Amino acid sequence: MRAVGLHADVIAVTSRVYATGCVLVRSGGEAFCIDSPVFPDELEILPAMAAQAEFNVVGLLATHADWDHLLGPYAFPEAPLGCAESSAARLINEPGVAQRKLREFDEEFYVERPGPLSLGASQRLPVPGRIEVGSQELEVLPADGHTSDGMAIWIPWARVLVCGDYLSPAEIPMVGFSVDAYLATRARLEPWVEEAEHVVPGHGGPIDGTRAAAILREDRTYLEALPDAALPLARRTGAQRKIHERNVRR
């Protein structure tokens, strides 16, 4: 797991698997943990890391309801989970799905957890909207297309965008829900990307605003050319070809 300070109030943590992104953000003595790393040792060390850096985590946020972004309760079991209404609805309508997918991952890679994933009732956040943290506010916009749910989070005072599974330097657009919705989310994110010092995508580690803007352009070219699209040059691997084949089938 890698941890990088992007700003005095923002730490980006990158998991060893899928380069899954997690962000700690603080203001005025309280902090949120956005999304999560994946492996048990990473989740175990996260609270000590946060405490040492004086990030007092009082709440969890999830960019969307896919299992690999929901593991925060392992690190901060007392902290309530907040997510977009669309994600809260997904968690209710797909009971046990995140737990089952996590179990499949753990079985495949022989990973042992201290216990099952417990996702209590999540707090539904209005999106678009604002979320208070200490004396500051996070801004959120809907981010669907990859899945049917989700939100992107803008940290205005640090100019950091935490966008969920969009704008990845490692992964081509994974269109699990709708190409049109994906393109709309992409367009919605554009003004923030232009202002961003850093962007933390769901997978691939933090990047600077310039790189994110280039990915934004590549992703549009790719999506608009589907089903005959060429893969973006820097993301032309065997694994990405499989994602592309799934996009085309859909």
Torsion angle (degrees, nearest 10) of CA 224, 227, 233, 237: 140
**Which residues of the chain form contacts with Zn ion (CB under 5 A)?**
66, 68, 165, 202
The minimum distance between CB 206 and Zn ion, in angstroms, equals 15
Nearer to Zn ion, 10 or 174 (CB): 174
| In the complex, minimum distance from the CB of residue 202 to Zn ion, in angstroms, rounded to a whole number | 4
Nearer to Zn ion, 66 or 149 (CB): 66
User: Cα(200)–Cα(61) distance, rounded to whole angstroms?
Assistant: 14
> Minimum Å distance from CB 8 to Zn ion?
28
Kindly state the helix (H) or strand (E) to which residue 206 belongs, with its residue range.
none
| Cβ 213 vs Cβ 192: under 8 Å | no
**Would you say 62 or 133 has its CB closer to Zn ion?**
62
Pick between residue 142 and residue 202 the one whose CB is nearest to Zn ion. Answer: 202
- Closest to Zn ion by CB, 9 vs 66, is 66
To the nearest whole angstrom, how small is the minimum distance from the Cβ of residue 228 to Zn ion? Answer: 26
- Tell me how far, at minimum, the Cβ of 28 lies from Zn ion, in Å: 30
Residue 73, token pair as written in the block: 């309760």
Beta strands in the chain (DSSP E): 2-7, 10-14, 21-27, 30-34, 57-62, 81-84, 123-125, 129-133, 136-142, 151-155, 160-164, 198-201, 207-208
> 28: alpha, beta or left, given left = phi > 0 and alpha = psi -120 to 50?
left
Closest-CA residue to 80 (of 62, 59, 65): 59
